[in-house]
Chains A and B, each alone.
Chain A
Amino acid sequence: MKTVDNKIMITYWLATTILFAASIVLVFAWTPVEQTMGVVQKIFYLHLPVAINTFLACLVSFIASVGYLWQRRQVWDDLAVSSAKMAVLLCGIVLLTGMIWGHSAWGVWWTWSPRLTFSLVLWLLYVAYLVIRPSIESRERRALVSAVYGVVAFLDVPLVYLSVKLMPDIHPSSIALSTEMKLTLLACMVPVTLLSVGLIALRFRLQRVESLNSETSSEPAPPTGVRGSFGGLA
């Protein structure tokens, strides 16, 4: 069982690495260099897939939060944290790549453009999610507050989007892409998504182990017949 598990893991990560390498080759060898921006434009092939994956990670966190509110199972909370951590990481990459882009396009590291603001607010939303958790001691309470926050934060995302629309914009709303560019973009989507999913899964596993270890009582008792857990619970 363990070895099969390991084999799947190795295959998965090997595939991800190979696809990553392949798409990097595509980005630099195959796609044309953009005329106005130059080589820096290549960062776009990382920027957009990561941005889409940020959204996916937020979505997973939202679903897990709803799951927790519905079933009150620790598993859901573990999944929600793992994906929220991933969302922060990915959104951080989006911010950084966006800033690098902005620096070469407009010559400044930061402008209050709608999209940069959007990424920043999104990042702050999920950073807050992660930093408040350790402050809540009771595990159930922590999971519950996090779940409520996870739901509200995700619903906040479209609101943030609407609100930044009111700001004056200098961001490219649409970029003319050649066919090679589009294909490369698609090719980059695959390894980035694989990487994100893999990292969420790894993180989730670790989180499971941690929360199973921190369980104060013995193994969960079935509802009928068997005497419940040891003392210490009201």
Chain B
Amino acid sequence: MTQVLQQIALVSGKDLRIEARSRQTLGLVVVLGVLIVVVLGLGLGPQQVASGMAATAVLWVAYLFCGVLCFEKTMAVERHDGALAGLMLAPIDRGVIYAGKLLSNLVLMVMLALVVTPVAIVLFGFDLSAAPLGFAAIMAGGFVGFAAIGTLFAAAVSSTRLQGGLLAIVIFPVSLPLVIVSTQMMMRLFGEGEPLGGTGLAVLIAFDAVYLVVSWLVFELILEP
């Protein structure tokens, strides 16, 4: 078990080292995320923005688009020069490759969120103080499910020309339930001041579990050197 964890850390650590060196993905997605928040802020106008609740929806839009870009970039690292085949030849479980990629994607998304979320909160005057932990829990639950399914499909389409916006068409519909659940939970938490209910969180965790298990099972089939 510790060995598997070490292997996952190895695969993911390599991704993050490449990212730290080239900084091409994070720079891109942070700027894109801020742009999306600004564009939506301008588009919604001062009155809508003042309600504050728009912030969570706006954040989801930013996370969805930036997330797809992250998934694509971390997979492109493996595509270059056939490095993926090198991983597949190694005596490691296919699940390790999946988990490593998932971890890299999650780290990137959390770093993205650390920049974009404060921007949205300030620009939209969103009052986070009511339940900062609840906010973080809902977002974390959403991220895990989204990254789980995103990592799977990024790998599935990486050997095809289905890149850019097209990957979004694959991932967005599948991720819609996550968006619905987390926005509904946010509305209850911040709009109606209800405490974070057990059922909502349970549904979110169930999502993550289903997405993770399915991706883990299917990942082996879609990997192609």
Contact = CB atoms under 8 A, between A and B. Distances in A.
Asked whether the complex places CB atoms of A and B closer than 8 A, the reply is yes
Interface stretch (B6-14, B36-44, B169-177): B169-177
B203 A125 contact: no
29 contacts: A117-B180, A121-B173, A121-B180, A125-B176, A128-B170, A128-B172, A132-B162, A132-B169, A132-B170, A136-B160, A136-B162, A137-B160, A141-B160, A148-B152, A149-B170, A151-B214, A155-B210, A155-B214, A156-B174, A156-B177, A159-B177, A159-B207, A160-B176, A160-B180, A163-B177, A163-B180, A163-B207, A164-B180, A166-B180
Interface of A: 69, 117, 121, 124-125, 127-128, 131-132, 135-138, 141-142, 144-145, 148-149, 151-153, 155-156, 159-160, 162-164, 166-167
Interface in B165-205: 166, 169-170, 172-174, 176-178, 180-181, 184-185, 200, 203
B156 interface: yes
B160 A135 contact: yes
Interface string B140-158: 0000000001001100110
Contacts of B157: 136, 145
B92 interface: no
B218 interface: yes
A103 to B, nearest CB: 23
Nearest to A117: B180
Given A132-B166, A166-B200, A141 B159 contact: yes
A124 B206 contact: no
